């Protein structure tokens, strides 16, 4: 396993996503936390959204960048149409694809187009750079999920996680 793959799916700089997302029921993932802008569900939905966009970009599909930040978070309809288990499954399915992409050494140096925010030029980067960006993005939002879990006394999970 290379370090980029490890950072996406395993224990690299932080607890693995599988640990961060374990033992979370419907009530906790939808619980609003005073002062926090998003629920655990909304954070994971956002991660899965950008993970899918990344997979499309590295496959050469120039999926448009959202016009507004809110488009990268679920609507009430999205939440009603996808329960927590379905969202977790969707996330892990795309995570496996992203991890597999880190092992395609021939493709990692390919230049891809990554559309930018409206009125900004299209960015170009390598597949590796886009996967690194995804890894950083996921880590940021998983850190928020861990904090929400800590605030609700639901951390660490049974599989372990740093509690310092």
Going by C-alpha positions, the residue among 102, 100, 46, 97 that lies closest to residue 69 is 46
Look at residue 149 in the predicted model and tell me its pLDDT.
97
Going by C-alpha positions, the residue among 82, 11, 4 that lies closest to residue 48 is 82
Look at residue 138 in the predicted model and tell me its pLDDT.
97
Look at residue 78 in the predicted model and tell me its pLDDT.
98
Tokens of 1: 């396993």
Torsion of CA 72, 78, 83, 85, to 10 degrees: -30
CATH superfamily to which 3-151 belongs: dinb family like domain (1.20.120.450)
Residue-wise pLDDT tens for the chain (164 aa)?
A: 999 999 999 988 889 999 999 999 999 999 999 999 999 999 999 999 999 999 999 999 989 989 899 999 999 999 999 999 999 999 999 999 999 999 999 999 999 999 888 888 889 999 999 999 999 999 999 999 999 999 999 999 988 776 65
Look at residue 134 in the predicted model and tell me its pLDDT.
98
- Inter-CA distances, 102 with 108, 114, 119, Å: 7, 17, 31
Look at residue 164 in the predicted model and tell me its pLDDT.
59
Q: Are 51 and 141 in contact (CB under 8 A)?
A: no
**How many CA atoms lie within 13 Å of 12's alpha carbon, on the beta-carbon side?**
15
Domain boundaries, the chain: 3-151
Q: Which residues contact 20 (CB under 8 A, 6 or more apart)?
A: 14, 142, 145, 146, 149, 157, 161
Going by C-alpha positions, the residue among 13, 15, 21 that lies closest to residue 87 is 21
Look at residue 122 in the predicted model and tell me its pLDDT.
87
Give Cα 25 to chain centroid, integer Å: 19
Look at residue 13 in the predicted model and tell me its pLDDT.
81
């Amino acid at each position: 396993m290379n370090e980029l793959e490890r950072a996406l799916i395993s224990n690299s700089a932080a607890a693995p996503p599988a640990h961060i997302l374990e033992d979370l029921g419907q009530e906790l993932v939808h619980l609003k936390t005073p002062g926090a802008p998003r629920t655990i569900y909304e954070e994971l939905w956002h991660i899965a959204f950008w993970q899918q966009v990344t997979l499309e970009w590295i496959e050469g599909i120039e999926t448009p960048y959202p016009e507004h930040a809110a488009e990268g978070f679920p609507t009430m309809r999205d939440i009603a149409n996808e329960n927590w288990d379905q969202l977790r499954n969707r996330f892990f399915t795309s995570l496996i694809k992203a991890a597999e992409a880190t092992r395609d050494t021939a493709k990692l140096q390919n230049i891809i187009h990554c559309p930018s925010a409206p009125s900004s030029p299209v960015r170009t980067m390598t597949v590796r750079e886009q996967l690194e960006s995804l890894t950083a993005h996921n880590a940021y939002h998983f850190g928020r999920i861990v904090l929400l879990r800590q605030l609700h006394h639901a951390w660490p999970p049974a599989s372990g996680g740093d509690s310092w």
